[in-house]
Structure 1
Amino acid sequence: MSRLAEETTTTARDALSDVDVALLPTGSVEQHGPALPLGTDFMAAQAVAGTLGDRENVVLLPTVPVGVSEHHRQFDGTLWTDPATFEDYVTDIVSSIASHGVQKVVIVNGHGGNDGALRRVARRVRREEVAYAVPWNWWGGIGDVLEDEFGMGITHADEIETSMLLEVAEELVREAALEAAEAGANDAWGEDVHGANVGFDTADFSESGVVGQPTRGSREAGARLLDASSDELAALVEWLGEQDIDHLWPEDHR
């Protein structure tokens, strides 16, 4: 796998000549409670993308670290951008690599708050026949592993994210703070009132910023998550690489 940021302008042409699929990691810089680093989401996405290092037909693009995270703004250190700004920025990156001949992209995402903007990016570049971009969350497709290990899906700064970070950036996890993180956590995302979710910001329903039970996390579980996620990404890249780009455009554009 070529890492685009490490190429020069004179080596990039050869490096991209045999590339079928570009990987673009995206995430966030936002609070993950007192135990996990602010960069948890982009670090996880970046780590999963990096597991495809032995594939010659893939190029890894630089990570987009800041995402759609205003709902965490009350917690120190959180950075965010407007959804439209994020959408435009990611669109520009996808369009840039497409101009160099790589029109198939997997956006390896680590932050659920980016989902809406990334879907709009995908529709936009496809509609304009610029590129075929697939938004993909690193926990997508591994529901069986999540159920087996934790009996639940991902929430926020929980046992799942804690496990993943213990595997990919253990030195950044403040394990002594996991109990405090859990003590101030909520058990579900949001606040339900008569069927309406009125938890607009994380601070509305979680004192520590955490949702879940991070003390249940483990490096062993994180290793299994990383392996499973890597396998799913590899399969997606394999599928996308085999597709004829002309057959990926909208029906009315063929």
Structure 2
Amino acid sequence: MDLSHRTVLIVGGTSGIGRELARRFAAAGSTVAVGGRNPQALAELAQEGFGTVSIDVTDNASVAAARDAVLDRYPELDTVVTMPGVMLLEDLRDPAHFEAAATTIDTNLLGTIRVVDAFTPHLLRRGAGTFITVTSGIAFLPFPPMPTYAASKAAVHAYSEALRAQLDGTGLGVIELVPPAVATAGQEKVNPHALPLDDFATEVMDLLSQDPTSREIVVKAALVHRWAERAGTYDDLVAQRSRALSMLPGRHS
């Protein structure tokens, strides 16, 4: 995949992985716009020279308005990265968790679908383009304190597979990015094993630049999650990760 001279929209790119990928695409020679909900973050990105657009992926009208604004300014848009994501703790013994579950599904799964639906007609008219969806190692190896996050990302994985099959022959590609735990926004303090953001972004861009580009971008640190069942380590790893249930209020390790 040639990373230069592309026109890229990153939805959910106002912080962390998305923000760093925006900078990496720009450094490679692409034109980059970033969409998100945080006005301050969007203003900061605009000062860096990025195009910005306000978008709430849980709101159909907001997604449609953002699409129109982006295509008006960037009619040559050829790459849409969709990475809306919320990570919420849930205690499944407490029925009150359902609100967190609904928010997670609406953002992570339905938000992804809304964005893909919004830009599919444009890319089909072009006859060429790429969707990059973002899942997680947790899609393949659940983290029990965040059950709906895991379910939503597993659903995005399956949706990406189906989208790729349905778009076959149209000139459109679908690439799935599968991050491990990445040290962003202080997460390195929570998870000392989190991969440094700079290392993650470098490896991702290296993998994306390969020709042909793999349909799944899985950095080395995420391989243990992606292939746990095949390696026969799945049960042991889920048991290890279940120790983190002590993070939930009222639970004890």
- Give the TM-score taking structure 1 as reference length: 0.40
The one of the two structures with greater contact order (alpha-carbon pairs below 8 A, sep at least 6) is 1
Bigger fraction of residues in strand: 2
